[in-house]
Structure 1
Amino acid sequence: MTTLTANWSYPTRILFGPGRIAELPAACAEAGIRRPLLVTDRGLAGLPITAGVLDLMEKAGLGRALFAEVDPNPTDANLEAGIRAYREGGHDGVIAFGGGSGLDLGKLVAFQQGQTRPVWDFEDIGDWWTRAEADRIAPIVAVPTTAGTGSEVGRAGVVTNSARIPRR
């Protein structure tokens, strides 16, 4: 007989159900976010669901900041642009909105905007995660719009290193 043994570390609180998006301002307040940057992909950016979230944010006094330069497989260029938008907008947190790409890039912007090392210094190798300056990670609220990647519950994000993409 085989015994399965595992350790899980996902202390993520999840709010689920119809209409729960109305609780987004409260979730931001709980996370200490007063001026969020909404990060989503290009496909969602112009849809009514995103306009509704922006309206909700604005009505709650959270502003109306949107960053949607997110490719289907986010790249380091997307990350750099997102960090620039975050800093230039004076944001204090991120709302990651969408499928895996938007959620991953939102998490990476929240993480990387305060770090002094390049993102590649935090790859999932050994204990490289200990290099992060944890107190400089911005708060984040993740809102999945698909049932696919589960990115909203994990701490990792996927980004493509453009320098490693073979040229054709």
Structure 2
Amino acid sequence: MNTNTLFGVQIPTAIEFGVGAAAKVGERARQHGIRNAFLVTDRGLAQSAAVQSALETLAAAGVATTLYSDVKADPTSEAIQRAAQAYRAPRPTAW
């Protein structure tokens, strides 16, 4: 299996994954008229090259982005409430 292939799925939401997919997120956001995004990840992935690439391409596309990295497995109801509050604050047009 070739792991360097970029794949796509549309059901009806388009999903792209694979090597280099994060570098396309800004272009896709711009195509959909997104101006304010809410990017959810965990603290470990927040520093990854993929997340940094996504943030850079979103910024280059003129998309203001809030990074929420306080995600943990099996979240408590309080953690979910904190995430919901963080989501509402910047009023994103995409998540």
Instruction: Tell whether the structures are fold-level matches, with TM greater than 0.5.
Output: yes
**Where does residue 64 of structure 1 map in the other structure?**
65
Matched-pair identity in % = 33
Deviation at 1:84, TM superposition (A): 0.8
C-alpha distance in 1 between matches for 2:51 and 2:22: 11
Q: Structure 1, unaligned stretches of length 5 or more?
A: 1-9, 95-168
Return closer, same or farther for 1:13/1:50 CA change in 2, 3 Å cut-off: closer
- Give aligned pairs, total: 85
C-alpha distance in 2 between matches for 1:46 and 1:23: 18
**Where does residue 36 of structure 1 map in the other structure?**
37
* Rg comparison, structure with higher value: 1
Return closer, same or farther for 1:50/1:29 CA change in 2, 3 Å cut-off: same
Q: TM-score, normalised by structure 1?
A: 0.43
Higher share in strand? 2
Q: Structure 2, unaligned stretches of length 5 or more?
A: 1-10
CA contact (8 A) 2:30 2:61 kept: no
C-alpha distance in 1 between matches for 2:32 and 2:54: 17
C-alpha distance in 2 between matches for 1:40 and 1:82: 11
2:67 counterpart SS class = strand
**Where does residue 25 of structure 1 map in the other structure?**
26
Deviation at 1:17, TM superposition (A): 4.2
- Greater relative CO (CA pairs within 8 A, separation 6+): 2
C-alpha distance in 2 between matches for 1:64 and 1:11: 24
C-alpha distance in 2 between matches for 1:58 and 1:76: 32
**Where does residue 85 of structure 1 map in the other structure?**
86
